[in-house]
Structure 1
Amino acid sequence: MTGLLEGKTAVITGAAQGIGLAIAQRFVDEGAKVVLADMNADQVATAAAAIGPDVAVGVAANVTSADDVAAMLKTAVDRFGSLDVLVNNAGITRDASMRKMTEEQFDQVISVHLKGTWLGTKLAADIMREQGSGAIVNMSSISGKVGNFGQTNYSAAKAGIAAMSKAAAKEVAAKGVRINSIQPGLIRTAMTEAMPKEAWDSKMAEIPMGRAGEPDEIAKVAVFLASDLSSYMTGTVLEVTGGRYM
């Protein structure tokens, strides 16, 4: 049976672990070739090798650098012949109450999430509009809808990603390029499992489905947005939260 992404080439940022790695693996399972990009050169190379050298390549990239992002996208074209999908997933947290948050902590998070996603979207759209097709999936967060205590930087960036995706989607829709975003809720990753138990429990209490999500549950939604299953969707924001904040 043909996969949903057969013959497609995708680039996924922040792909050395967690949600990004799950997306890369699921994309390959659906027939895609993938470029995994991450700040951690060794870890992303290992992740790509584990997926398979014929279908995956790992590259070191800082998404706040236009040169790095351009090189990352060029790798997809040079190695696999096209750029059909970009998933802007890379992110960091620098949590602190607004009173204690430093300017540097604010700037770092805005730069990686918002500027990084903007650079990826801008440069990928330039390539995709020339070929008349492409799908960009940007990773927002439920924190961009609700606002989390101690995350004025992160919530602002994630809300910005959702709004920016809509604005960008309007600019390139007529060129055959679709741009959508995902807002995950509490997903079980190394980052969230490091949370204090009381913080984890309080978030769990807000989820009607009564459990955290798994990275692959985000990956499956990314496949939907990257594939022709969502061919008439652009500028949308899909919440994948187990019903949290309905």
Structure 2
Amino acid sequence: MRVQGKVAVVTGAYRGIGRACAERLAAEGSRVIAVDIAAGDPGFHNPDIDYHRMDVGSESDWQALADRLAAEARQIDILVNAAGIAPTKAGAHDVTLTDWEQIIRVNQTGVLLGMRMATSMMLGRAPLAIVNISSIWGQVGGSGQIAYHASKGAVINMTRNAAVTYAKQGVRVNALLPGLIDTDMVRVQPPEMNAATLALTPMGRIGLPEEIAAGVLFLASDDASFVTGATLAVDGGFTAQ
């Protein structure tokens, strides 16, 4: 198994891409700590996944997770920052500051806080692989959703910065860029928005969360030992055009 015996923290793990990543890493031998803002039992297929309710935009929640790991004498081998929201499709002319700040808090600040916790714990201790879930909309432009685009573009450059900063200290940091993926967040979008993206996807179909998880597994595993600062698009060819 490709991540046997490793400890992985996965955010946004209650559903969608984060859930698929948690399940795949656990299936490949990792001890998974899954976190999300949602309450209740996620009902993972793998009962050994350890789920905790956590707000990724909260500094104190990340500190509580760090304290719990330290108390259990655990290190972090893998961090997957998959938590993300897109509650508004507003453009620059009509986005509210409340919506802007909420999206940035989860999608960008949440990634920063996760990377800060993991690197502060692991520098000088052991190898660490961080995989940040960005989006094709962090690399190319689309209509509306300016806050979401801004947050995902920031994640790409934050990934590159951390990759260069910690390359000589045993830390690899990469970003995965999903295209149109069959998740709850996509299903509630306007049908015409999804249809437009699908029409521009060369493979002509929507992707599955499990296909994103497969890419995350590669970037998190030792198979990617010479890969850092990369942006891996899993998008059916969308950004190849």
Instruction: Compute the TM-score of the two structures, normalised by the length of structure 2.
Output: 0.94
Number of paired residues?
Answer: 239
Residues 25-36 of structure 1: pairs in structure 2 closer than 5 A: 25-36=23-34
SS of the residue corresponding to residue 236 of structure 2 reads coil
Residues 169-208 of structure 1: pairs in structure 2 closer than 5 A: 169-208=163-202
Give the C-alpha shift of residue 155 in structure 1: 0.5
2:161 counterpart residue number: 167
1:16 counterpart residue number: 14
Give the C-alpha shift of residue 31 in structure 1: 0.4
Structure 1: any 5+ residue segments left out of the alignment?
Answer: none
2:37 counterpart residue number: 39
Give the C-alpha shift of residue 208 in structure 1: 0.6
2:84 counterpart residue number: 91
Sequence identity of aligned pairs in percent?
38
Change (3 A) 1:79 1:95: farther
1:110 counterpart residue number: 104
2:212 counterpart residue number: 218
Residues 52-67 of structure 1: pairs in structure 2 closer than 5 A: 52=47, 55-67=48-60
Give the C-alpha shift of residue 162 in structure 1: 0.5
* Partner residue of 1:128 out of 108, 112, 122: 122
Measured on the aligned residues, the alpha-carbon RMSD in Å equals 1.5
Give the C-alpha shift of residue 80 in structure 1: 7.7
Letter in 2 for 1:207: T
Give the C-alpha shift of residue 84 in structure 1: 0.6
Aligned partners of 1:187, 1:80: CA distance in 2, in Å?
A: 37
2:74 counterpart residue number: 81
Structure 2: any 5+ residue segments left out of the alignment?
Answer: none
Q: Is the 8 A contact 1:37 1:72 kept in 2?
A: no
Q: Is the 8 A contact 2:24 2:217 kept in 1?
A: yes
SS of the residue corresponding to residue 238 of structure 1 reads strand
1:236 counterpart residue number: 230
1:124-176 Cα shifts (integer Å, max 9, x gaps): 01112131311000011000111221211111110100001111111111110
